[in-house]
Amino acid sequence: MTISIKEVEHVAVLARLQLKENEKEKYARHMGSVLQYVDKLNQLDTEGVEPLDHILPVFNVFREDQVKPASNREEILANAPLVEAGQYKVPKII
């Protein structure tokens, strides 16, 4: 399994990771070698095998519809890089 620079770039956009040119090649190589390794799974016939998405035989875990006090706003904003008017401030969207 090899992976192209173009695919690396596409995945990096999806993952919101800015890659430098030299990194792209490194990722292509590393991802390629891991993907080649995981191709081993294709040796197995999994026809009819139910995917295991939850290991515990547990269902319907609920909480009551009860309101508890919210966090203190100062506390919740304390770790924010930039705050204005009690809100997180972010650069322009477009």
Partner 1 sequence: MNFETVIGLEIHVELKTRSKIFCSCSNEFGAEPNTNVCPICSGFPGMLPVLNQQVVEYAIKAGLALNCEIADYCKFDRKNYFYPDLPKAYQISQFDLPICKKGYLDIEVDGVKKRIGITRAHLEEDAGKLVHQGTISSTPFSLVDLNRSGVPLLEIVSEPDLRSSKEARAYMEKLRSLLLFAGVSDCKMEEGSLRCDANVSVRPYGQKTLGTRTEIKNLNSFRAVEKAIDFEVQRHIEAIEDGEELIQETRTWEEDQQITRSMRSKEEAHDYRYFPDPDLPPLRISREWVNDLRLSMPEMPEQARERIMDQFGLSAYDAGLLTLSPDLLAFFDECTHYYHDGKIIANWMMGEMSKLLNQKNLDIGQCRIRPAHMAEMLNLIDQGRISGKMAKEVFQVMFDTGSSPEAIIKERGMEQISDEATLEKIILEVIANNPGAVEDYRNGKKKATGFLVGQVMQATRGQANPALVNQILARKLNS
Partner 2 sequence: MELYELTLRELQQVLHKGEASATDITKSVLGRIHEVEEKIKAFITLDEEGAINQAQQCDARGAYSGLDGIPYGLKDLICSQGMKTTCASRMLENFVPFYDATVAARLKAAGGILLGKLNLDEFAMGSSTEQSAFFPTRNPWDLTRVPGGSSGGSAAAVAARELPFALGTDTGGSTRQPASYCGVIGFKPTYGRVSRYGVVAYASSLDQVGVFSREVGDCAQVLNIIAGKDPLDSTCVELEKPDFTSFLKDDVKDLKIAYPREYFQKGIDSGVKDTVKQALLKYEELGAIVEEVSLPHSEYALPTYYLVAPAEASANLARFDGVRYGFRDFQAENVVGMFSSTRAEGFGDEVKMRIMLGTYALSSGYYDAYYLKALKVRRLIKEDFDNVFAKFDLIVAPTTPTTAFKLGEQVGDPLTLYMNDILTVPVNMAGLPGMSIPCGFLEGMPVGLQLIGRAFDEGTLLRAAYAFEQHSDYHQAKPDLGGELI
Binding of residue 89 to partner 1 (CB under 8 A): yes
The Cα 58–Cα 10 span in angstroms is 37
Mark residues 13-32: x for contact with partner 1 by CB under 8 A, - for none. Answer: xx-x----------------
**Scanning residues 34 to 53, which ones bind partner 2 (CB under 8 A)?**
34-35, 37-42, 44, 46, 49-53
Which residues, including other chains, have CB under 8 Å from residue 92's CB and lie 6 or more apart? none
Q: Which amino acid is at 90?
A: V
Which of these ranges, 1-9, 19-27, 31-39, 76-84, lies near partner 1 under the rule CB under 8 A?
A: 76-84
CB-wise, 49 or 59, nearer to partner 1? 59
Q: In the 8-state DSSP scheme, what is residue 49?
A: P
> Quick one: DSSP state of residue 51?
P
Under rule CB under 8 A, residue 69 binds partner 2:
no
Q: End-to-end CA distance of the chain: give it in Å, rounded.
A: 37
